[in-house]
Chain A
Amino acid sequence: MFGLYETAFGALTWGNILMLAIGSLLIYLGIGKKMEPFLLVPIGFGIFAVNLPLGGLMVYSPEGLPSEVPTLSEMVKAVGEGKVGLLNVVYAYGIQTEVIPLLIFLCLGALTDFAPTIARPISFLFGATAQLGIFVAFLIAYLSGMFTLNEAACVGIIGGSDGPPTVYLTAALAPQLLGPITLVAYSYMALVPIIQPPIIKLLTNKKERAIYMKPQVRKVSKLETILFPIIVFLISALLVPKSVPLIGMFMFGNLLKASGVTDRLAQSAGGAFIDVLTFLLGIMVGALMPAEVFLKSQTLAMVGLALVAFAFSTIGGLLGAKFANLFLKEKINPMIGAAGVSAIPMSARVVQRMGQQANPRNFLLMHAMGPNMAGAIGTSVVAGILLGMLK
């Protein structure tokens, strides 16, 4: 009479229960520990959405892939019949088309101040060498035999420590891994303050960490901040055409901010608009993790490889800064190289904290923000390079 046969209990698997526990943990970390709450809370909820059977918010094919959304005219009927759910529609039109990650990058551009990078262009070198982890992780992932070439590239890009390029590249090259890769990437970004300090300490001595840098970075003119996104876009587009969607959106968003005449647009992009996109991306990422997709040895391997990627990216950034010091008259604190691992602004904060521990006079935050921003550009360039080679 109460339709007990319709409950989901009978269809619940142990895998679902484990995933529900993981979803609960993410929601707890987001709310209780305030770790990346804007992402972890929607991701956790998205995991609930696909691991409570028969719900139909996101319907999967027997092969474990999200069910195909039919043409627009057939879609209403398909939704009504339960062949696809609301999140299938969001996935098809927002993630498969790569619209959401690109729009998020536009919004991030509108929130970014490139002045520290413009003031010290050598930051680009550290942003470049800090991409080392991407290629090391790619190599290990591919040679392990657990991942195809495309999948290995997506695992590697985690080392860039930048969300939108990771989502963009994975949606293009290995959409079946989008859920776990995005979760691992964002989780590790939150763990940067734990991962980086021991590596930095291992590769630098106390004298190097205590190198004093004057707190003021050169004042950047308004014209420079306006020209910067245009120049970066033009050069990247000419040298790495496949990076245009990412760099183009990022720089367009930044131009809205830098121009000073489109403040309303920049504020909209950096306000409610990015919030909407973030929760759509978050719940989508969670919804891409049904138990049968997430609970695989590949996911565990990704967790290990992501650590390798972050470690080598930190090493690359540090070595880049040490290398630059060989030629610079006024030595820089090599720790700022570690901020080339973008994870904005966490890695810059790590450098600031460690810098003050080594020398209380040091205030390295603005110096570290330069490589931090350059790292974000670097990861987009690398994503473009990988797309050009593999797609």
Chain B
Amino acid sequence: MIDWNLVAKITGGGFGVAILVLLILALVTWLVGLGLQRIPAKSKEKSVKDSR
């Protein structure tokens, strides 16, 4: 006897959750990268201003 509810939960739900988790990882990785790229850029600007 096939448990269609469980099958749907595993295939649809499982695949959906996998995509969601990896998209969250993508978003966080992107945000961290963005933040860390800006910090050195800002500190560079600051050091240029200080030298003036």
Name A's B-contacting residues (CB within 8 A). 117-119, 121-125, 127-129, 131-132, 134-135, 138-139, 142-143, 149, 153, 220-221, 223-224, 227-228, 231-232, 235-236, 239-240, 374, 377-378, 381-382, 385-386, 389-390
Contacts and interface: CB of A to CB of B under 8 A. Distances in A.
Given A135-B11, A382-B18, A389-B9, A124 B2 contact: no
A124 B29 contact: yes
A122 B26 contact: yes
Interface secondary structure of B, over-half rule: helix
Contacts of B26: 121-125
Contacts of A239: 17, 20-21, 24
A121 B10 CA distance: 26
Given A149-B10, A221-B40, 15 more contacts: A118-B29, A122-B26, A124-B23, A125-B19, A128-B23, A142-B2, A149-B6, A221-B36, A228-B32, A236-B21, A377-B22, A381-B18, A389-B9, A389-B10, A390-B10
A67 to B, nearest CB: 33
A124 B11 contact: no
Contacts of B3: 149
B33 to A, nearest CB: 6
Nearest to B28: A231
Interface in B27-47: 27-30, 32-33, 36-37, 40
A381 B26 CA distance: 14
B10 A153 contact: yes
A132 B22 contact: no
Contacts of B27: 121
A192 to B, nearest CB: 21
A121 B25 CA distance: 8
A387 to B, nearest CB: 11
Contacts of B11: 135, 138-139
Contacts of B37: 221
Interface residues of B, number: 29
Interface secondary structure of A, over-half rule: helix
Contact of A389 (B14, B32, B36): B14
Contacts of B13: 389
B7 A142 contact: yes
A333 to B, nearest CB: 19
Contact of B30 (A121, A128, A232, A389): A121
A221 B3 CA distance: 49
23 contacts: A118-B29, A118-B33, A119-B33, A123-B26, A124-B23, A125-B19, A127-B22, A135-B15, A142-B7, A149-B6, A149-B10, A228-B32, A235-B28, A236-B21, A239-B17, A240-B21, A377-B25, A378-B18, A378-B22, A381-B22, A385-B18, A386-B10, A386-B14
A377 B36 CA distance: 23
B36 A224 contact: yes
A239 to B, nearest CB: 5
B28 A128 contact: no
Nearest to B3: A149
Per CB-CB distance, the 6 closest pairs between chain A and chain B, nearest first, are A124-B26, A128-B22, A121-B30, A121-B29, A121-B26, A124-B22
A382 B18 CA distance: 6
Contacts of B29: 117-118, 121, 124, 228, 231
